[in-house]
Structure 1
Amino acid sequence: MLIELNSITKILNQDPLFENLSLILEQSDRIGLVGENGSGKSTLFKLITGEENPSKGVINRKKNLTIGYLQQTFTPSDKIVKTYLLESDQLLNDLYHQLTLYEEKLATVSDDHQQLAKVMTHYGKLQHDFEENGGYDIEDRIASTLKALNSSELENKRLNQLSGGQRLRVELVRVILSNNDYLLLDEPTNYLDIAGIEWLENYLSHLQIPYMVISHDRQFLDRVTTKTLEIEDGQIVPYNGNYTRYTALKKERVEALQKNFLLKQQEKQKLKGQIKQYRQWGNESGNEKFYRKAKSLEKRLAKISLPYVPQESGNRLESVKVADRSANNVVKVNDLWSLIEDQILLEDVTFTIKRNDRIALIGRNGSGKSTLMKLIVGELTADEGTIELGNHVKMGYLPQQIEFPLYDVSILDYAKTIMPNEEAARRTLAHFGFYAQDVSKRLKSLSGGERVRLALLPLLQQKINFLLLDEPTNHLDIYAKEEIEHLLEDYSGTLVFISHDRYMIQKLSNRQLMIQDRHVVQVED
């Protein structure tokens, strides 16, 4: 046992997030932690690390246990990235400072041969320990890990100059380089491209220490976990196996619970009928034994409790309204060039999108995927070449960076700018998962997933036959991702989407175009 949570209760905003939750973490752990947004996954990590305390219960950790924790929020700092990463391993950091101290001592005792010998002996031991723990190749490891995550250019930047995605990648490198006994990784694949995700999968598959990950990337979970914990109604429900195995086991469990619920419900109805019958017979005959029988059955009835059955989230999204058929050639891109700050981003790009194509546009971060999509929708202008839209093309576009005209307005007020009738606006918002208690929230306080759902609202009111989506499932939990996928599976028009979610790519695309070395190439099966 490395960590034990015993009868934990956590109260947030006067409501219990966890109640009487218990969990043991062990040396063999390769755990995926799943649950709907708001179920308490990140809070559970903070309880394990001690960053937050439980309202009730006890958390025990093995003596001297060190926990590496990748979280979604960061401490502001103006340190250089390389310096920050060099400090990631506390043992190496301590040894380095001791080496520096003894190098200064060597200069002061050079005339005292006896003292010099003592200092040299200790200095030699420190050098040996520093080398044994990888101290002399730490800079190479920093450089190679940053390169693997497509982030080499960050090494000499200051932390306060980085975007959120860049800072997350730096924090991931720091956790990887640290010497810890247990890893907690909260959404480690956020902002990673497919190559970076695959590198991380390979790293974790060879890792000798236990870990738990929160992720909305189903294929990643399949490849790096052997056990799944689901937070459900304030409790932990364990399943042996990766994400795919978990979904099968959960389905079996829910079906068994539903069957048991129906049997208990039928038993209660049967007892109620019998009680009514015995009471009626007692009233008609005046025979006391019928009343006693009715009371006996009432005691049995009181002992029967209906089992809890997990409720599946209802479908919150309307279907896409499809316009009339477009021409067979939806988009023709010819000899296209695009420069960003005098640097060539796209070079001599030529391809055609046909009616009913379902294209996944893939490539490394920074390769130009979003730029190419903006060129197609007309938000940017090509430096050379042409983009021709076919006849009768009705385009709908969801950008990666979602912006609203105003942020200090409520969800309802925003919806009324699209459909002035308040009743219709409330009804439509409910279809998108914004109910009566939600519609007064300000746009500036929305989560990433809520922003995506709200941005889809005006898009899905239009008639569209060519839909372009730039990372539409970013910041969405697995359940919301699957909802988007169901919507897009039913959409019968032409689709182009950017995603690093391999599960989604395999499920929705019939073609893949990759931006590679400034060119667009067809990915062959």
Structure 2
Amino acid sequence: MLQIKDLSISFDGFEVLRKVNLDLAAGETLALTGANGTGKTSLLRAVAGEITPLEGEILLQKDIAPFFVHQECDTFSGTVKEYLFGAKPEISRIYTELCRSSDPIVYAELINAFNDAGGFELEASISSTINKFGIGIDDLDFPYRNLSHGFKRILSVIRGALSGSKLLLLDEPTNHLDIEMTLKLEEIVSSLSESGVGIIVVSHDRTFIDRVAHKTVYLKRGIAISISGGYSEMLAFLEKDFLSRKKKCVEIDKKIRQLELDVARRKSWSDSREASKRLSSDKGHEGHMAAKLAKRALVVRKRKERLVQQLEQEKPFVEKPITIKIPQYEVPNRKMLNAERISFSYGKKNIFRELSLNVDTNERIGLIGPNGSGKTTLMRCLVGILKPVNGRIYRNDSVDWVFIPQDMTRHFKKKTPFEEISDVGLDEQTTRSHLANIGFRGDRALANAELISCGERMRLAILKAILSRVEFIFMDEPTNHLDIESLEMLDKLLNDFPGGFLFISHDRQFIAEHGEKIFTIEDDGLKSLDYTKDIDIDSFTETKRNLTDSYEQSITRRKSGDSWSEFLQ
């Protein structure tokens, strides 16, 4: 249904995509991944017809009209039903007029037009689709703008499904989704795929890609690498490709050294023949032979120099892998905090009640649960930003700890990454070395800290914490808005961190990788996702299964011996 040939996209002379080729068949889901800024959204916009490529072709099946679900939630002032009617613009227009009409004759005409356009069928489809996927919106007349970001994201995909388009373009639909919502999104995408809808989805959710993608396309430096399968298959391919390129480079370098040695030997021999000619008593025959041999040596030398140049051009590009080296230090195991039966409310609205939690400095704890369940409020209470309405919190302030919030725009006190790290008390060379290890090379180390990406901010915050030798880190959704490269690097940093941490996250791969203990907030307190006879976890069976799948993948990756970030950077 879609074929892209030699697509190139450029902005202000900068080539974002270069000679990209890919295709999509009916019922296939293709995942686009790669670092932020590599052209994923630009590719979707080109397919949707929003931008004109510099060159190349986008060939669509004759009856295909793409439906584009953008990253940003729609700004809409009507009801949920009116928003979903927007899947069919003509029906939406008639419905709007119906709601405004007070003339009985006009109203009757609009009802007929609404029926002829398929309005009643769409209305039935809206209800059945909402029920089918258990979206949890009982009142379709509820104001759309009052919904959470997560509900808005899911409804934008539902609207795409209701449009009847056979090609959906989804730009980071997992943004703002908790685990439960992400599972619903997986169900919707899989159902659409089974019905023959082609889907291109941009996502940084590694588990989501593994579960829904038939193909994965990795974008880097304008080039598209396409493989069959999901994120795990892409990692395996990148590792194999990295090692293959590295091996070929070694082989070519060996050939170049041999040729250069041969060229040097021939030059030395030619020079010696020239010298013997000058010293010879017989300037005729011997001089003639020396000149002839020197000329032949020069021809061979030039030919081998050309071979060296040719081999240099044939060498594949192998980017220097980023290897994270951080100082190791001992973190003694001691009490970090103890929260006893704490509750919090805003006015009359109870956020949580009578929660208890014990945390030691060597523990790694994940706090999960639906959006709005009070996770961030709980963490802000634990670090002392908010005060619970009742209960008691003991925090061991003799432990060196740090809190890294969701919004880090004001987290950094210095102007540049270089100043932030050198503030720890390091010299310039050591500071630059540590920054280079997490991707801040050259002038990037001197960039404005307020303007760097979310992923770069998180890397910088974790690195500074480790270089400051903290013993415990509180992190509120550290994976928000991070691209895959940043997620892999964050995994590596935290795996090497000698202390403990408490984090909030909806990223299943991250939770499985780092959550040695996992808790969720329920009405009657914090509950552990452990299989014990004392804890009822029926409501989390699906989540536990998904986390188990992700955990098994993370174990496999750790056994590989190298950080996957080496193959992504």
TM-score (norm 2): 0.78
Match of 1:244 in 2: 232
| 1:348 and 2:348 matched | no
Number of aligned positions between the proteins: 507
Which of 370, 377, 383 matches 1:371? 377
Match of 1:334 in 2: 340
Q: Is the 8 A contact 2:413 2:420 kept in 1?
A: no
Match of 1:309 in 2: 317
Which of 162, 170, 173 matches 1:177? 162
Match of 2:181 in 1: 196
Match of 2:142 in 1: 156
Instruction: For 2:492, give the aligned amino acid.
Output: H
Distance 1:23-1:345 versus aligned 2 partners, 3 A rule: same
Q: Is the 8 A contact 1:396 1:467 kept in 2?
A: yes
Q: Deviations over 1:420-469 (max 9, x none)?
A: 98888766655553344235544443332233234445534433222211
Q: Is the 8 A contact 2:38 2:222 kept in 1?
A: yes
Instruction: For 1:341, give the aligned amino acid.
Output: G
Which of 269, 277, 281 matches 2:265? 277
**What are the residue-to-residue correspondences of 1:81-230 with 2, within 5 Å?**
81-90=80-89, 92-93=91-92, 107=105, 123=112, 126=115, 129-131=118-120, 133-139=121-127, 141-142=129-130, 148=135, 156-157=142-143, 159=145, 167-207=152-192, 208=195, 209-230=197-218
Instruction: For 2:143, give the aligned amino acid.
Output: K
Which stretch has the larger CA shift, 482-491 or 296-305?
296-305
Which of 399, 419, 438 matches 2:444? 438
Indicate the SS of the match to 2:339: strand
Instruction: For 2:204, give the aligned amino acid.
Output: H
Distance 1:524-1:478 versus aligned 2 partners, 3 A rule: same
Instruction: For 1:351, give the aligned amino acid.
Output: L
Match of 2:46 in 1: 47
| 1:389 and 2:395 matched | yes
Report the aligned-residue RMSD.
Answer: 3.7
Match of 2:404 in 1: 398
Query: d(CA) in 1 for partners of 2:9 and 2:250?
Result: 32
Q: Is the 8 A contact 2:330 2:498 kept in 1?
A: no
Instruction: For 1:277, give the aligned amino acid.
Output: R
Q: Is the 8 A contact 1:337 1:385 kept in 2?
A: yes
Which of 500, 503, 507 matches 2:509? 503
Q: Is the 8 A contact 2:458 2:478 kept in 1?
A: yes
Match of 1:233 in 2: 221
Return the offset for 1:485. 1.2
Which of 278, 297, 300 matches 2:304? 297
Distance 1:137-1:166 versus aligned 2 partners, 3 A rule: closer
Distance 1:486-1:360 versus aligned 2 partners, 3 A rule: same
Structure 2 residues not aligned, in runs of 5+ = 274-289, 532-569
Match of 1:516 in 2: 522
Which of 493, 496, 515 matches 1:487? 493
**What are the residue-to-residue correspondences of 1:403-482 with 2, within 5 Å?**
403-404=409-410, 429-430=435-436, 432-439=438-445, 441-456=447-462, 458-482=464-488
Which stretch has the larger CA shift, 425-434 or 11-20?
425-434
Match of 2:332 in 1: 325
Match of 2:543 in 1: none
Distance 1:299-1:410 versus aligned 2 partners, 3 A rule: closer
Query: d(CA) in 2 for partners of 1:155 and 1:460?
Result: 50
Q: Deviations over 1:266-317 (max 9, x none)?
A: 2222222223333444442431443343344344444333332342651468
Distance 1:440-1:518 versus aligned 2 partners, 3 A rule: farther
Distance 1:391-1:105 versus aligned 2 partners, 3 A rule: closer
Query: d(CA) in 1 for partners of 2:166 and 2:22?
Result: 18
Return the offset for 1:415. 6.5
Instruction: For 1:52, give the aligned amino acid.
Output: I
Query: d(CA) in 2 for partners of 1:458 and 1:245?
Result: 33
Query: d(CA) in 2 for partners of 1:496 and 1:199?
Result: 27
Q: Is the 8 A contact 1:90 1:178 kept in 2?
A: no
Query: d(CA) in 1 for partners of 2:505 and 2:253?
Result: 45
| 1:23 and 2:9 matched | no
Return the offset for 1:78. 3.7
Q: Is the 8 A contact 1:318 1:432 kept in 2?
A: no
Distance 1:468-1:307 versus aligned 2 partners, 3 A rule: same
Q: Is the 8 A contact 2:76 2:83 kept in 1?
A: no
Instruction: For 2:529, give the aligned amino acid.
Output: V
Instruction: For 2:363, give the aligned amino acid.
Output: D
Structure 1 residues not aligned, in runs of 5+ = 111-118
Which stretch has the larger CA shift, 33-42 or 220-229?
33-42
Q: Is the 8 A contact 2:472 2:500 kept in 1?
A: yes
Query: d(CA) in 2 for partners of 1:382 and 1:299?
Result: 76
Match of 1:115 in 2: none
Distance 1:261-1:405 versus aligned 2 partners, 3 A rule: closer
